[in-house]
Amino acid sequence: MEITEKQKILAELISEGEKDSAVKMLTDWAYETTFKEVIFNVLEPMLVHWGKLWMQGKLSLAHGYLSGKVAEEFYLIASTDETFRTNKSETKGTIILGNIEDDFHPLGRRLVGIYAQAAGWNIIDLGSDIPAEQFIEQAIAHRADIIAISAMMFTTAKNIIKVRQGIEQAGLSEKVKMAVGGAVFKLRPELVGEIGGDGTADTAINAPELFDRLMKMKQK
Ligand code: B12
């Protein structure tokens, strides 16, 4: 991958442990250009690049952790920016979002939330490490249309089966659709069906389209 000048500066700040300066730098760039530009042309390609280096053992866990923290804080700031806020007065529906039990990879989930909200969905983000029972309780409490679950690992993806069982036990199969996503579903697409998912999307940009599709399935 060809590293741009901005990505070089970002990488240096992170390897020096300068978390706050890195977040500030990204935010300044976003105000000079747009949040979308910084997320998709600066930060995400670097996260993928660092992910590959990490898997090859060429990057420390500390670097991986810090880059995650920087991205997380920056996405929180981005989510409050008006480009990601919907102006529509009516929402498309309600989505309960979370990382499944034992999964602590929040970045992808946050991005899915930001994009779905911008597309007009009401998002209730429960956070990381959410047990199946909590997904079901919240879906009932908020009369949700979709439960959207993020899982990065094979071991954690298997915990999603309990959400499918919960949906069935509560008699909600027709009313609540279950979207799943995360690194492990890109590697093993057959897992979507195996754990009872109704559909997936490979990126946050494609997630709103998936939610529209699931909503149509529900209305049939
Ligand atoms: C960063 C990272 C971490 C960071 C997380 C920091 C943070 N604050 O987020 C830290 C260092 C803490 C970490 C820890 C661990 N990690 Co880790 N981690 C990663 C890494 C490099 C990147 C993940 C990421 O944030 N990507 C960037 C985001 C933007 O992309 P994304 O998450 O894929 O999300 C996009 C799509 O998938 C999609 N999406 C995501 N969720 C959803 C949900 C729905 C409904 C939809 C529609 C779409 C969707 O949209 C998103 C945006 O476009 C991946 C490598 C990889 N290939 O993913 C490993 C990886 C996921 N981790 C892995 C492992 C093994 C671990 C640890 C067990 C390591 C350890 N020994 O401690 C722990 C476990 C923690 C836990 N219990 O969850 C493995 C999982 C292997 C597997 N398949 O089972 C991976 C694949 C690396 C590897 N090959 O070894 N990790």
**146 CB under 6 A from ligand 1?**
no
pLDDT of 220: 61
Q: For residue 170, how far is the Cα from the chain centroid? A: 26
Predicted confidence (pLDDT) at residue 57 exceeds the cutoff of 70: yes
Arithmetic mean of pLDDT, 31-38: 92
**64 CB under 6 A from ligand 1?**
yes
At residue 171, the 3 state secondary structure works out as: coil
Q: Tell how far the Cα of 152 is from the centroid of ligand 1, in angstroms.
A: 5
| Locus of tokens 């979207």 | 179
User: What is the pLDDT of the chain when averaged over all its residues?
Assistant: 92
The residue to mutate among 152, 186, 192, 202, having the most atoms of ligand 1 within 8 angstroms of its beta carbon, is 152
Q: Where are the beta strands (DSSP E) in 92-210?
A: 94-99, 122-125, 146-150, 177-181, 199-200
**188 CB under 6 A from ligand 1?**
no
| Angle at the Cα of 207 from the Cα atoms of 203 and 211, rounded to 5 degrees | 160
Task: Give the strand pairing for 122-125 and 177-181.
Answer: unpaired
d(C-alpha 57, C-alpha 207), whole Å: 31
Supply the residue whose CA is at minimum distance from atom 35 of ligand 1. 108
Give this prediction's pTM.
0.87
With contact defined as beta carbons under 8 Å apart, do 117 and 84 qualify?
yes
pLDDT of 219: 64
Same fold, 5-83 and 89-219: no
- Among 6-10, 49-53, 87-91, 167-171, the range scoring the smallest mean pLDDT is 87-91
**129 CB under 6 A from ligand 1?**
no
Please give the residue that has the higher pLDDT: either 114 or 165. 165
With contact defined as beta carbons under 8 Å apart, do 87 and 118 qualify?
no
CATH code for the domain defined by 89-219: 3.40.50.280
CATH 1.10.1240 fits 5-83, yes or no: yes
**What's the Cα-to-Cα distance from 173 to each of 160, 166, 216, rounded to whole Å?**
15, 10, 14
155: DSSP letter: H
User: So where are the chain's domains?
Assistant: 5-83, 89-219
Supply the residue whose CA is at minimum distance from atom 55 of ligand 1. 51
Q: Which atom of ligand 1 is nearest to the CA of 72?
A: 8
Q: Where are the beta strands (DSSP E) in the chain?
A: 94-99, 122-125, 146-150, 177-181, 199-200
